[in-house]
């Protein structure tokens, strides 16, 4: 009987977040959606070894987004041309990241975002979204999480500066047996 009282007094999700049931989160503009057939095809494929056709389908999806959203971004144009070319698949230095890598990136709190801060990929202001998911790379470039995830499926670099987003592991040379001195016990 006591548990019913506790359950009855629990706040709903809307009450916890000060949202009325009629109020729905508003988004200023449409971001690339996984509902897009080209993006759906890209995300359904093996993330470890993206094929050339996968890269072209991602380029097509980004091109469709650019046309439908009437977005003009030099970085988006650069990403589309890079994905359309064979340079990613022919570059032996280029590699992909684990699928859970974006989850490990530090999130930028809404309080640290300025009104004129925008995602360099989609060019939309970060604060145009009521609940922005902005990540910051090691190079201090910031992106909407939704925009940078497709890039990480095909590259392990920042699309802005081409810096590697993960540190390369240092190879530690093992001491040889000759250097071992057993007198120091």
- Does the residue 121 lie in any domain? yes
CA 8 to chain centre: 40
SS3 25: coil
* Average pLDDT for the chain: 72
- Tens of pLDDT, residue by residue over 34-85, are 555 655 555 555 554 555 566 666 777 777 776 666 667 777 777 777 776 6
Q: What is the DSSP letter of 155?
A: -
- Does the residue 46 lie in any domain? yes
- Does the residue 177 lie in any domain? no
Task: Tell me the residue range of the domain where 100 lies.
Answer: 33-152
pLDDT band at 28 (very low <50, low <70, confident <90, very high): very low
Backbone angles phi, psi at 105, to 5 degrees: -70, 145
- Does the residue 92 lie in any domain? yes
Number of domains in the chain: 1
- Does the residue 53 lie in any domain? yes
Burial of 146 (0-12, 13-18, 19+ CB in 10 A): middle
- Does the residue 126 lie in any domain? yes
What pTM value is reported for the model?
A: 0.49
Q: Which residue has the tokens 């046309």?
A: 67
Q: How far is 44 from 177, CA to CA, in rounded Å? A: 50
- Does the residue 165 lie in any domain? no
pLDDT at 184: 64
- Does the residue 86 lie in any domain? yes
């Amino acid at each position: 009987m006591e548990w019913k009282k506790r359950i009855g007094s629990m706040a709903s999700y809307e009450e916890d977040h000060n949202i009325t049931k009629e109020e729905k989160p508003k988004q200023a503009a449409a971001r690339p959606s996984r509902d897009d057939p080209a993006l759906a095809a890209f995300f359904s494929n093996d993330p470890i070894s993206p094929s050339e056709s996968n890269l072209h389908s991602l380029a097509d999806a980004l091109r469709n987004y650019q046309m439908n959203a009437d977005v003009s971004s030099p970085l988006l144009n650069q990403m589309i041309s890079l994905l359309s070319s064979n340079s990613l698949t022919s570059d032996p230095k280029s590699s992909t990241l684990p699928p859970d890598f974006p989850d490990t990136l530090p999130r930028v709190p809404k309080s640290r975002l300025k009104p004129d801060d925008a995602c360099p990929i989609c060019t939309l202001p970060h604060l145009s979204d009521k609940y922005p998911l902005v990540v910051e790379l090691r190079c201090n470039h910031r992106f909407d999480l939704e925009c940078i995830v497709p890039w990480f499926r095909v590259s392990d670099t920042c699309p802005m500066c081409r810096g590697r987003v993960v540190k390369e592991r240092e190879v530690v040379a093992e001491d040889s047996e000759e250097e071992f001195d057993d007198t120091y016990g």
